[in-house]
Amino acid sequence: MKVTRIDHIGIAVKSIEESLKVWEVALGIACTGVEEVEEQKVKTAFLPVKDTEIELLEATGDDSPIAKFIEKKGEGLHHISLRVENLEKALSELKEKGVRLIDETPRYGAGGAKIAFVHPKSTGGVLLELSER
């Protein structure tokens, strides 16, 4: 598996609009756009910082994984995404090594990326997303 960079850091928020007041106005990091990913019941906003991004994640329904995360843990760091060269190969290699996967096959995320999640029980409590663009 070849990891090429940290793709983004995902942060669960109750309101992207309210969160942008801090990220854009106070910190001066411009949002490049807001997108809804219906399949995942989430609205996202990306804020580029050099060669990585901050991803704000807002639930679009009470049954959204982000809504459940916020209910359980509150707003905050949700996941770290690593960009890989070949997502299918990376998942196969991790599975062979006994790493617990949430997604054994890629799905589509924001910005047209192929994504898959690694279970936090295999990564010291960190929800890890693998991404291929």
Residue 41 exposure: Cα atoms within 13 Å on the Cβ side: 11
The CATH code of the domain at 3-132 is 3.10.180.10
> What is the rounded average pLDDT of the residues 70-95?
98
User: With contact defined as beta carbons under 8 Å apart, do 46 and 33 qualify?
Assistant: yes
Measured at the CA of 111, the angle between CA 30 and CA 133, to 5 degrees, comes to: 115
Region of residue 6 (left: phi > 0; alpha: psi -120 to 50; beta: else): beta
Q: H helices of the chain, where?
A: 16-20, 65-73, 87-96
What pLDDT digit, counting tens, does each position of 36-63 carry? Answer: 999 999 999 999 999 999 999 999 999 9
pTM score: 0.94
DSSP H or E segment with residue 129: strand 128-132
User: Where do the domains of the chain lie?
Assistant: 3-132
